Structure 1
Amino acid sequence: MTYFTEAASAETVNARMGPDTAPRLAEVMASLVRHLHAFAKDVQLTQGEWETAIAFLTRTGQICSGERQEFILLSDVLGFSMLVDAINNRRPAGATENTVFGPFHVADAPIRAMGANISLDGKGESCLFEGRVLGIDGAPIEGATVDVWSDNADGFYDVQQPGIQPKWNNRGRFITGADGRYSFRGIRPVSYPIPDDGPVGQMLAQLGRHPYRPAHMHYLVTAPGFQKLVTHTFVGGDTYLTSDAVFGVKDSLVAPYEPGAPGDTLWRSPFDFVLVRE
């Protein structure tokens, strides 16, 4: 054991770790200490800047509640959520890519008949979403559950507006048959801002960044024997595709939106999901 010095700061801190520390905890904490100390040395962090950071983290914690998690929002806008997601969801070429889950999923949405309309408030531009759930070998997957949810035409999810939107608005689950096909009617989603009335929003403003997410439809696709897929499809041509506040867009997830059939929906968005076996 040695006394603390600037030159050997990280090594001194890590040397105090007890011999019975769980191996993975020891690995993670030692790396965290090394990177934190290297960061402070790299930018020559001032005392005032460190106090500002502590105040920022304090405000971030104070605004958190059962309905709002500002720390997850902070992770999102720093691209850290997407990085952790990417590390934990590496897939072979041809498989559909993951993206962030988002905070607005609700478990046990109603199971609806294929082709059903999930838009219950009558707002927005109607859209037919359809495609197939396939294995990496191209074979259709029977019995896959396609769980979907999106905002309404005003840019809000139903859980953000209880008593204003109908319950289960723009939500539903669909079970594929032997052909692996899914279809449902909803609306062409719209872009919307993440909550920016707290410390994370203030940080974005200081960085000259906007809080908007490009329009997207959420999907949670599961099937026995296959890896769970959490993803979005994004509206092609959206203004915010290349500047998503949470970095969730991947090129392979930008979906076509074509004019719908006469007398049916205004839009049609075809997209196939390709799953990987567990």
Structure 2
Amino acid sequence: MRNIDEHTITAAVLDRMSGCEDARLKEVMSALVRHLHDFAREVKLTEAEWAAGIDFLTATGQKCDAQRQEFILLSDTLGLSMLTVAMNHAKSPQATEATVFGPFHVAGAPQLPLGSDIAGGAVGEPLFVEASVRGRDGEPIADAVVDVWEADAEGFYDVQRPGDHPQGRAVFRTNAEGRLWFRGVAPVAYPIPTDGPVGAMLRATRRHPWRPAHVHFMIQAPGYETLITHVFREGDPYLDSDAVFGVRSSLIGNFAAHAPGRAPDGSLQDGPFHTLDFAFVLERQAPGNCAAQSG
């Protein structure tokens, strides 16, 4: 096709993909082209704006490395991550809701025995977590793999600090009663990284970068859907304006504060500490869906 103009180019691009044999790929790419072209026409995109967009995406890719995933951060702050979670993880009312994966999970975290301290020297007031993992019918889920990660009291994850010593992350397995317990640090609100393109976008659109205090959990067990979620700290000032739109009321937990004294693990704490007790409920895997879900 020759002499293509702004009115005919969309059909021309779609026609070029008519031979695609992957039906789903064709559907996704066709919709992407239509929406991109409609967007450009709607806002009357200038060449300078197009070039600025290319530069922004290039810089986003250049900011990514083994410890930093700027594209996930971009997806999170645009609400795309949470939209995808909401569409793909609709659950029954009894099941624990999913939320965003975030950019700070690290595969291969140390597997520790129940009751371990995951802080690894991270700063923060002690937090003692007790949790249960059950199915919708109340059955305890034994030997579930529970991946936990959290920031320290300064709002940083270990991957944001020099060195490779794990802090604030571990993997546990539930006991025969479907329970787990461990010690970490009480979470605080923190800003997402703003030293890259995503931070520039937030500043340009007059948005704050703060996330409410939370602890991440990923729970996997045979026969159940993988759950990727957070537990948020009740009373946090950013619960209603989370920079990545991830808060769900059902995920807000009571991080109870305690004066110095005896902690749940029997230790004597000479400073303030916190406790959290939370129940996770997993959805059964749909028949025929044996593939493990992941972030």
TM-score by length of 1: 0.91
Structure 1 residues not aligned, in runs of 5+: none
Matched residue type, 1:259: A
What are the equivalent positions in structure 2 for 1:160-199 lying under 5 Å apart?
160-163=160-163, 167-199=165-197
Deviation (angstroms), 1:145: 1.9
Find out whether 1:268 has 2:289 as its counterpart: no
Percent sequence identity over aligned pairs: 51
- For the aligned residue pairs, the C-alpha RMSD in angstroms reads 2.1
Amino acid at match of 1:253: L
| Paired letter, 1:273 | F
Structure 1 residue matching 2:94: 3-state secondary structure: coil
Change (3 A) 1:114 1:206: same
Contact 2:20 2:26 in 1 (8 A): no
The 5-angstrom pairing of residues 10-89 of structure 1 reads 10-89=10-89
Aligned residue pairs total 276
Find the aligned partners of 2:114 and 2:17 in 1 and give their Cα distance. 57
- Aligned amino acid, residue 61 of structure 1: G
Q: Which range moved further: 226-235 or 190-199?
A: 190-199
The corresponding residue for 1:142 is 142
Report the CA distance between 1:7 and its aligned residue: 3.0
Once the two structures are TM-superposed, the CA of residue 13 in structure 1 deviates from its matched residue by: 1.9
The question of whether the paired residues in 1 share the 8 Å contact of 2:151 and 2:187 is answered with: yes
Instruction: Tell me how far apart the structure 2 counterparts of residues 66 and 145 of structure 1 sit (CA, whole Å).
Output: 24
Q: Structure 1 runs of 4+ off > 6 angstroms?
A: none
Comparing 225-234 and 38-47, the one that deviates more: 38-47
Task: Indicate if the aligned counterparts of 2:142 and 2:174 stay in contact, CA closer than 8 A.
Answer: yes
CA contact (8 A) 2:128 2:275 kept: yes
- Bigger shift: residues 85-94 or 232-241: 85-94
Report the Cα distance in structure 2 between the residues aligned to 1:149 and 1:71, rounded to whole angstroms.
Answer: 20
| Deviation at residue 61 of structure 1 after TM alignment | 2.7
Kept in 2: contact 1:236–1:256 (CA 8 A): yes
Structure 1's 202 and 113: CA in aligned 2 closer, same or farther, altered over 3 A? same
1:51 CA drift (Å): 2.5
1:221 to 219, 222, 236: 219
Q: Is the 8 A contact 1:128 1:260 kept in 2?
A: no
Q: Secondary structure at the match of 1:85?
A: helix
The letter for the 1-side match of 2:6 is E
Give the secondary-structure state (helix, strand or coil) at the position aligned to 1:243.
coil
**2: distance between equivalents of 1:108 and 1:228?**
17
Q: Tell me, what secondary structure is at the counterpart of 2:19?
A: coil
- The letter of the residue matching 1:123 is V
**Displacement after TM superposition at 1:29 (Å):** 1.0
Deviations 1:138-174 (A, max 9, x none): 11111112221111122112222234xx823222222
1:122: Cα distance to partner? 6.1
**In the alignment, residue 283 of structure 2 is paired with which amino acid?**
V
Gap change, CA 1:122 and 1:212, over 3 Å in 2: closer
In structure 2, what is the Cα distance between the partners aligned to 1:89 and 1:113? 30
- Which residue of structure 2 aligns with residue 94 of structure 1? 94
CA contact (8 A) 1:127 1:260 kept: no
Contact 1:60/1:199 (8 A) holds in 2: yes
Structure 2's unaligned 5+ residue stretches are 264-268, 286-295
Contact 2:82–2:99 under 8 Å retained in 1? yes
CA distance in 2, matches of 1:244, 1:207: 15
Matches within 5 A, 1:99-178: 99-121=99-121, 123-163=123-163, 167-178=165-176
The match for 1:277 among 261, 281, 284 is 284
